[in-house]
Amino acid sequence: MERVMMKGNEALAEGAIRAGCRFFFGYPITPQNEIPEYMARRLPEVGGVFLQAESEVSAINMVYGAGGAGARVLTSSSGPGISLKLEGISYIAGAQVPCVIVNVARGGPGLGGLTPSQADYFQATKGGGHGDYRLLVYAPGNAQEMVDLMGLAFDKAEEYRNPVMILTDAIMGQMMEPVVLPPLRTVTAEQPWATTGKQGRKKPNLINSLGIVGEELERINIELQAKYDRMAAAEARYEADGTAEADLIVVAYGTSSRVARSAIARLRQEGKKVGLFRPVTLWPFPQAVLASLAADGKRFLVVEMSAGQLVEDVILAVNDRAKVSFFGKLNGTVPTVREVYDRIRSLLPEGGEG
Amino acid sequence: MERVMMKGNEALAEGAIRAGCRFFFGYPITPQNEIPEYMARRLPEVGGVFLQAESEVSAINMVYGAGGAGARVLTSSSGPGISLKLEGISYIAGAQVPCVIVNVARGGPGLGGLTPSQADYFQATKGGGHGDYRLLVYAPGNAQEMVDLMGLAFDKAEEYRNPVMILTDAIMGQMMEPVVLPPLRTVTAEQPWATTGKQGRKKPNLINSLGIVGEELERINIELQAKYDRMAAAEARYEADGTAEADLIVVAYGTSSRVARSAIARLRQEGKKVGLFRPVTLWPFPQAVLASLAADGKRFLVVEMSAGQLVEDVILAVNDRAKVSFFGKLNGTVPTVREVYDRIRSLLPEGGEG
Amino acid sequence: MAKITIDEERCKGCELCISVCPKKILGLAERINSQGYHFVETKGEGCIGCAFCARICPDVVIEVYK
Amino acid sequence: MAKITIDEERCKGCELCISVCPKKILGLAERINSQGYHFVETKGEGCIGCAFCARICPDVVIEVYK
Amino acid sequence: MKKIFAYPRALTQKRTHYCPGCTHGIIHRLVAEAIDDLDIQERTIGIAPVGCAVLAYDYFDLDFQEAAHGRAPAVATGIKRVHPEAIVFSYQGDGDLASIGMAEIIHAAARGEKITVIFVNNTVYGMTGGQMAPTTLPGQKTTTSPYGRDTATVGYPIRVCELLATLDGPAYLARVSVHDPAHIVRAGKAIRQAFAMQMAGKGFSLVEVLSSCPTNWGMTPVQALSWIKEKMIPYYPLGVFRAPEEVTGDDV
Amino acid sequence: MKKIFAYPRALTQKRTHYCPGCTHGIIHRLVAEAIDDLDIQERTIGIAPVGCAVLAYDYFDLDFQEAAHGRAPAVATGIKRVHPEAIVFSYQGDGDLASIGMAEIIHAAARGEKITVIFVNNTVYGMTGGQMAPTTLPGQKTTTSPYGRDTATVGYPIRVCELLATLDGPAYLARVSVHDPAHIVRAGKAIRQAFAMQMAGKGFSLVEVLSSCPTNWGMTPVQALSWIKEKMIPYYPLGVFRAPEEVTGDDV
Amino acid sequence: MTYEIICAGFGGQGVMLIGQLLAYGGMLEGKEVTWFPSYGPEMRGGTANCSVVVSDQPVGSPVVAEPDGLIALNGPSLMRFMGSVKPGGVIVYNASLINEVPEDRPEVRLFGIAANELAEKLGNDKVGNMIALGAFLGLSKVVGLASIEAALKEVLPERRHHLIPLNISALHKGWALVEG
Amino acid sequence: MTYEIICAGFGGQGVMLIGQLLAYGGMLEGKEVTWFPSYGPEMRGGTANCSVVVSDQPVGSPVVAEPDGLIALNGPSLMRFMGSVKPGGVIVYNASLINEVPEDRPEVRLFGIAANELAEKLGNDKVGNMIALGAFLGLSKVVGLASIEAALKEVLPERRHHLIPLNISALHKGWALVEG
Ligand SMILES: Cc1ncc(C[n+]2csc(CCOP(=O)(O)OP(=O)(O)O)c2C)c(N)n1
Ligand SMILES: Cc1ncc(C[n+]2csc(CCOP(=O)(O)OP(=O)(O)O)c2C)c(N)n1
Ligand code: SF4
Ligand code: SF4
Ligand code: SF4
Ligand code: SF4
Ligand code: SF4
Ligand code: SF4
Ligand SMILES: [Mg+2]
Ligand SMILES: [Mg+2]
């Protein structure tokens, strides 16, 4: 199969088109501009619509409209823009509208910088907008996964009628890697629940998240929570590389997982038993697997480009059954292979902390 | 001292004025409208400025401007509006601008409803806007604390140059209770770091959160994290009612803590040993105290009006040293005293699960 | 000859129809409906079917026949 | 009699000043500055101190004396 | 006898939650009548705002989406781009459209987005209890302008039709009122015209309707209609602000 | 010999990060000259936008706040309300002001907020690499209108001065250009006028400056200036769109 | 002692006001009190209710689920809340709008007053709520009449203070009904 | 085997392009590759660099901290990166802009070429980057010349394809310098 070199951002965009996405609404922001720019060129070629919205707020509400109308629709942004989209994301989750949202994360807080970051993990997996809602969150580990998880994202969004987020970072989005592209899919915008005009239906379709009477809102939330439980049971994904035989397991995703992989490769050459656990879904977090690894007596090192976010989920999963160490790089900087290598070494039996 | 009946929202507003707050920028949203309406009447009386912004986005950026200019400034909103403010909040945190933000939480997600909720806990304490930032988060337990914590909020905001959030809910904001008001304070807007025009200073003052070069952003973040560490060490607050002798400790804040208090009162009348642990700061979370209670062999019941958010912090604090049960009411409904009473009973030795 | 019908339960007693009826034949009833409103009723004869009342009624209480 | 001074290190070699000088006495140097730009230099005499060059320079490279 | 004024088909039978005498109800009916008239019920999609009309979807027998406060034009854009053959309209209040949603309405208009906007200007935030709106008149008291709107500190009301008329995108812009039966008839025609414009693919259409809020104005419904006539219309002149040639002569 | 053209005091010595020939630099200098001229450096507070001018605070020797993208007018409002005696200005690009920040600029203008806005219209998003802006000309190619701006699908450019001129709040609105020395002089006067207006407490003032982006237009700096003259000015006519009587006759 | 009350009725009948008076009056007597409102989705009209708690101790939940006392000014409110009143509790309802009591509650004290007609007799059809409150106070004695009278000054906006005497007569009228 | 390269220079000197060619060429040879760009805060001009990894195995970190090879087209870049090159590594630098090598690195192969002058001789002053790449390939042999030539078609946009022959000559010119 033919390999082509693509930037991660372009792989996401082409992956969406291959998955049948024909609508993109977004607003420029570095480091994800290749996505809208690619879409602007490419969507008209496949009969789709690219529209640059006047803001991220507007973009996410266009997505809400288009997704509610039954279409496969994508938007993408980074830190400040994702923050602006949160009201809309909460609406989309509450109204159970399928769509895919990409966050190519950059350093924060505030205006921050253009360098990669993993400090939007909480925002994607727990906090973010108001209310009890969940996104299915994928964290691709390479350009190929950018394509493949994008396809999955659209399918899952529709299956669960839930927004799906792809959380990646400036490095993953800007780097080029070879990818193999799947064939082009075409899907229709006809969903039985979507707004299309009544078209002979007895009951009009309604897309909303309003429960002005208390019990109505409780009903909505019970329905949502039941769905999240189903998702939690069925959708956790991860990559476990050498975790069974490992003494120490590094937990990392995205760019950190790649740096960790390089460090681990070096350590393995030296005969050390180090594994890599890479959550592919950040929500649902693959906690059962981690819990059982913890029960097997492993110890863990969480590497992330933040002050410590993923590490909370790891601790919650492991829940005092294993020791969890943390190596975080603050926003704006990426750990070097040597730093991670040194940190792992220091944790291994012969190392400092033992 | 004279007691006056005030709605929680009004107590917050008057509390702010007594604390020297002279600027309010906000946008109407139920169930917090009494705050801007009170401010609209009251601020002109004390020489302050009330301005209704065109949106929450604009309001929070006015706050950023006014706070950056050295003033004591307040804004308030609820779910959807707070979500819209998150980009601005991230900027304010990043630029280290003091201000106070009130969230009178209502049911979500999306448009949700007007009933109270505690499902914005994660948003306030972890997630929310992009990047690694923290708010100091107070959760008042009655109208008096609405006044008192508001005063503290302004002092702490200035002390740490950090945004402070008061997280309360529709019931706490709408209910009336007697309060005793502190005297009126007047403070100046003259902070050495604030924008005022150079006024003879050699170096201009700059309020920003930009670190376009990687290391600059890392420096900003290191400074922020060091501050958060100081805050975590010094600012945790809680109320512990009968926790030392308790068999079971209910952990709850805001409206849930009041319902729990009623249920506990009934149980105590029946001779049961039940305590109440009420975090007054949600961030920093008073985890050391909880950890030591856990070490003493207590068990815990977390009561909250959400699908389970505070409970994660309790588990993280307790970290498998104690059993943590959870009773959550989904958005839009408040647990009744009887429900909480029954749940506690079922957990007590003679009860079901025992 | 014209006449109107009034859906009493929908009426909120706002009196807008009363204010525009050129024949001044509308008025509020003594009784209230289940929403608690004194609803509108015709107090006299002479409806000309101008439909002013129906047109201004925010609650689509009135239909007009002619 | 007029003259201009050029802060070579600030110049980005955009040529805007060259394009507006009525006396056509400005041009780019062979050498580059530490930013990598060929900077502007006066290539001839006859400056009239019109300050067109200074006014259009986005990098405030030029000062004018008269 | 023939029924000459009937309950519109495009409305459900549900009773509204609006206050007695609130003209939101009249405007709903006019929209429904236009939809009936143009026979587009089966292909019309409405967008409800956040405002007193938040439950509009309960009253119209149409597919609907509930938009976030102010974002209805963006939601409408998303829908219309997916279903270009559908008739898409938003129904928005003055707080919704002219305050928080200002960027969205201007850009939808500038894009010439082929949607119809029903803009209900009642000079206040009705739903949230009568706060000041961008359209609150100078001196008008509201809960957030308790001393009366002071233009020196909070500025001047915004005339939305005049503002949008500076853009090239709109095909039809009109301001109407519903304070008496004659004006209601004209308002109905304008609304019909706006929908017709969309059906003809001409571009963005908006009808601003001067509407009452007796509750927050602190008046009886009847007084409120006089207030529209006496206070609002002088500040917000009625008329057509943009129309393709063929309709400029319309009596609206 | 006397120095007749000198480095302005209100600028720092720092070299800018702007592309060669980018007229942002000229506009910076004009602002600094106005501040020098009016002798207000010690009491002026600037708001930097998110856009190519994001680092403006490095170049002006003034107190500054960095605003979130599009929100500079709100930030300026917050500052001005705290320090009414200060001179507060924002410096914003066309993406910043006319796209994401549309609601903020309209409302600041409608409020008659006593601030000055320097609005740099270069028809593209410079900083992010040349995407379409609300001011991109019909047919103009950008990275997000790769086939040229198609007004049928993405609508028409927005003329900000004309739009704001429908409001009652602004005291001074002017559009100028910096494509040649003569126009630069006039632009400088307009900017000075806008600040003077604020000093006199007259209300909101805005100067729209037609500016080049050689990098994203794919032209040499010199070509870019011709493009302003030949393409932009016909679409964005220069002139004063609002002024108190005493300055209407200004030659700007 | 903790006493919990629900006041309910159509919007516009003044149930919020009598709840506030109860709470304010309680506070003036040195009690701990809370007042909490709850509205229906209607903008105006519809039904509304409020919870009031008067206690010797700090009040826990301000939301009353099982009241000691209920003032129901219309039918739907009586229907909705009467079943939750504690045994031994007090219910005052508006007999002007309620012809039939929907439920049999022998273990509570049930008292119907023709609030509308009585109010009209007092010359102002808006004070039915005060008459009901007076009756409720007479039966429950949860707060003294004098405290409610004092509370009127605090709760009513200045521009309504001329109505205080009227309100006081209505209170007394109600009290007299149950005393009588 | 994993080979890591940094290409660095002023913006506009074409360092991103030669990095992409290296990666693309590697891919065409069946290798795993990554390319990653890094820009300064300047909008245009300033310095820029990219990291390229060519490997037999899936690539871990795409950010190269200790390169095996460095192509430095200006002084600041050589200054910044030469110290991090691994012992045994290769450095090609642009002698047209660098008079003096800032550091002594006896354990690496250091090769200066007058890229600007050579490019001008080829008739297009933009191809200095290709000459440097050619030289680097000649020294490092990390990717074959033929693969780079094939990559040119993929990497250059269609409208620049007429420049491919010129670029190929520049590549060969550079290669010849180190062979010769
Ligand atoms: C983001 C957000 N901000 C604020 C609100 C609260 N809110 C609900 S309706 C409304 C204003 C409604 O006023 P208007 O649009 O004029 O409609 P009306 O009720 O007058 O018809 C506001 C501010 C909200 N729901 N969401
Ligand atoms: C919320 C948010 N959205 C998007 C961006 C990315 N962004 C930075 S600058 C810019 C556009 C700048 O264009 P303009 O305002 O025209 O200024 P110019 O660079 O052309 O001077 C954008 C979209 C951001 N930083 N924040
Ligand atoms: S149709 Fe005309 S005359 Fe008849 S009741 Fe209605 S308004 Fe009066
Ligand atoms: S206008 Fe309608 S709602 Fe109002 S009183 Fe008349 S019939 Fe009733
Ligand atoms: S001052 Fe005038 S004449 Fe002299 S160099 Fe500059 S542009 Fe040329
Ligand atoms: S205009 Fe300024 S930067 Fe441009 S070439 Fe002339 S002196 Fe240099
Ligand atoms: S509050 Fe005003 S706008 Fe809303 S329903 Fe009532 S009268 Fe109508
Ligand atoms: S990108 Fe355009 S606007 Fe930005 S600095 Fe370069 S030329 Fe100027
Ligand atoms: Mg309104
Ligand atoms: Mg621009």
Q: Give the model confidence (pLDDT) of H18-43 as tens digits.
A: 999 999 999 999 999 999 998 876 66
Pairing, β F87-93 against β F116-121? parallel
Best CA proximity match to H61, nearest among F173, F75, A172, E213: A172
> What's the number of domains chain D is made of?
1
- Two structure tokens written together for B17: 């004025």
pTM of the model as a whole? 0.97
Q: pLDDT 10s digit of each residue in chain H, 180 long?
A: 899 999 999 888 999 999 999 999 999 999 999 999 988 766 676 788 999 999 999 999 999 999 999 999 999 899 999 999 999 999 999 999 998 888 889 999 999 999 999 999 999 989 999 999 999 999 999 999 999 999 999 999 999 999 999 999 999 999 999 985
| Binding site membership of C18 for ligand 3 (Cβ less than 6 Å) | no
| Binding site membership of B84 for ligand 1 (Cβ less than 6 Å) | yes
**Cβ within 8 Å, pair A49-E44:** no
Pocket of ligand 5 (CB under 6 A): D 4, 21-23, 25-26, 47-53, 64
Pairing, β B3-7 against β B176-180? antiparallel
Between vectors from CA F107 to CA E194 and to CA E210, what angle results, nearest 5°? 35
Nearest to F2 among D12, D60, D65 (CB): D65
C-alpha–C-alpha distance, residues B303 and A275, integer Å? 39
The answer on pLDDT for F249 being more than 70 is no
Chain H contact for D58 (CB, 8 A cutoff): no
C-alpha–C-alpha distance, residues H86 and A337, integer Å? 14
The pLDDT-based confidence of E250 (bands split at 50, 70, 90) is: very low
Tell me how far the alpha carbon of residue F5 lies from the centroid of ligand 5, in angstroms: 11
The answer on pLDDT for F4 being more than 80 is yes
| Binding site membership of C16 for ligand 4 (Cβ less than 6 Å) | yes
For residue B319, the model assigns a pLDDT of 85
| Section F99-107 average pLDDT | 98
In a domain, E229, yes or no: yes
Pocket of ligand 2 (CB under 6 A): A 27-29, 56, 80-81, 84; F 50-53, 69, 93-96, 120, 122, 124-128, 133
Mutate to test the pocket of ligand 1, among B29, B58, B76, B83 (most ligand atoms within 8 A of CB): B29
**Residue D25's CATH number:** 3.30.70.20
From E164's Cα to the closest Cα of chain F, the distance in A is: 8
Residue segments in chain A with a per-residue pLDDT below the cut of 70? 213-214, 350-354
In chain F, the percentage of residues whose pLDDT exceeds 90 is 96
| Binding site membership of C11 for ligand 3 (Cβ less than 6 Å) | no
> Which residue, judged by its Cα, is nearest atom 2 of ligand 8?
F213
3-class DSSP state for residue F211? coil
* Domains within chain H, CATH numbers bracketed: 2-179 (3.40.920.10)
- Two structure tokens written together for B155: 């002092």
| Binding site membership of D23 for ligand 6 (Cβ less than 6 Å) | no
With left for phi above 0 and alpha for psi between -120 and 50, is residue F130 left, alpha or beta? left
F24 CA: nearest ligand 8 atom? 8
pLDDT (tens digit, 9 = 90+) per residue, E36-47?
Answer: 999 999 999 999
Q: Which chains touch H (3 or more CB pairs under 8 A)?
A: A, B, D, F
> What's the number of domains chain E is made of?
1
Residue span of the structural domain in which F204 resides = 24-251
Question: Three-class SS string for H39-65?
Answer: ECCCCCCCEEEEEEEEECCCCCCCCCC
Residue segments in chain B with a per-residue pLDDT below the cut of 50? 351-354
Nearest to F112 among E103, E110, E155 (CB): E155
Chain F contact for B325 (CB, 8 A cutoff): no
**Cβ within 8 Å, pair A316-B320:** no
Mutate to test the pocket of ligand 5, among D21, D63, D66 (most ligand atoms within 8 A of CB): D21
pLDDT (tens digit, 9 = 90+) per residue, A228-255?
Answer: 999 999 999 999 999 999 999 999 999 9
The pLDDT-based confidence of E248 (bands split at 50, 70, 90) is: very low
Beta-carbon contacts of E118 under 8 Å, excluding residues fewer than 6 positions away, are E27, E31, E89, E90, E91, E92, E191, E194, E206, E207, E209
The DSSP output letter for C10 is: G
For residue A249, the model assigns a pLDDT of 98
B30 CA: nearest ligand 1 atom? 6
- Two structure tokens written together for F125: 């998003």
Residue G159: CB atoms within 10 Å: 7
| Binding site membership of D21 for ligand 6 (Cβ less than 6 Å) | no
C-alpha–C-alpha distance, residues B117 and G144, integer Å? 36
| Binding site membership of C57 for ligand 4 (Cβ less than 6 Å) | yes
Nearest to B109 among A109, A133, A222 (CB): A133
State the virtual CA torsion across G127, G130, G132, G138 in degrees, nearest 10: -150
* Domains within chain B, CATH numbers bracketed: 2-234 (3.40.50.970), 239-352 (3.40.50.920)
* Whether complex ipTM tops 0.85: yes
Chain H contact for F67 (CB, 8 A cutoff): no
**Residue F243's CATH number:** 3.40.50.970
| Section E96-124 average pLDDT | 98
- Site from D28, D31, D32, D59 to mutate, H interface, most H CB atoms within 10 angstroms: D32
Cα-based distances in Å from A284 to A153, B85, B196, B332 = 13, 27, 48, 25
| Section C43-64 average pLDDT | 97
In a domain, E134, yes or no: yes
Q: Do chains B and C touch (3 or more CB pairs under 8 A)?
A: no
Contacts of A212 in chain G (CB under 8 A): 41
Ligand sitting nearest the alpha carbon of E22: 7
Contact H171, H137 (CB under 8 A): yes
From B98's Cα to the closest Cα of chain E, the distance in A is: 25
Residue span of the structural domain in which C29 resides = 3-65
Beta-carbon contacts of E250 under 8 Å, excluding residues fewer than 6 positions away, are E189, E190, E193, E240, E243
C-alpha–C-alpha distance, residues A67 and A69, integer Å? 5
Ligand sitting nearest the alpha carbon of A86: 1
The answer on pLDDT for G120 being more than 60 is yes
D56, closest residue in chain F (CA to CA)? F181
**Cβ within 8 Å, pair F158-E101:** no
Q: Which chains touch C (3 or more CB pairs under 8 A)?
A: E, G
From D6's Cα to the closest Cα of chain F, the distance in A is: 11
From D18's Cα to the closest Cα of chain F, the distance in A is: 9
The pLDDT-based confidence of D6 (bands split at 50, 70, 90) is: very high
The pLDDT-based confidence of E205 (bands split at 50, 70, 90) is: very high
Average pLDDT score over chain C? 95
Ligand sitting nearest the alpha carbon of C49: 3
In a domain, E37, yes or no: yes
Average pLDDT score over chain D? 95
| Section G9-35 average pLDDT | 95
Specify the amino acid at residue A10. Answer: E
Which sign, positive or negative, has the C-alpha torsion A340, A346, A351, A354?
Answer: negative
**Cβ within 8 Å, pair D51-F221:** no
Pocket of ligand 8 (CB under 6 A): F 18-19, 22, 24, 52, 122, 126-127, 213-216; H 43-44
Outline where DSSP puts E strands in F76-169.
87-93, 116-121, 124-125, 131-132
**Cβ within 8 Å, pair B67-F76:** no
The answer on pLDDT for E249 being more than 90 is no
For residue D32, the model assigns a pLDDT of 86
Mutate to test the pocket of ligand 7, among E24, E128, E178 (most ligand atoms within 8 A of CB): E24
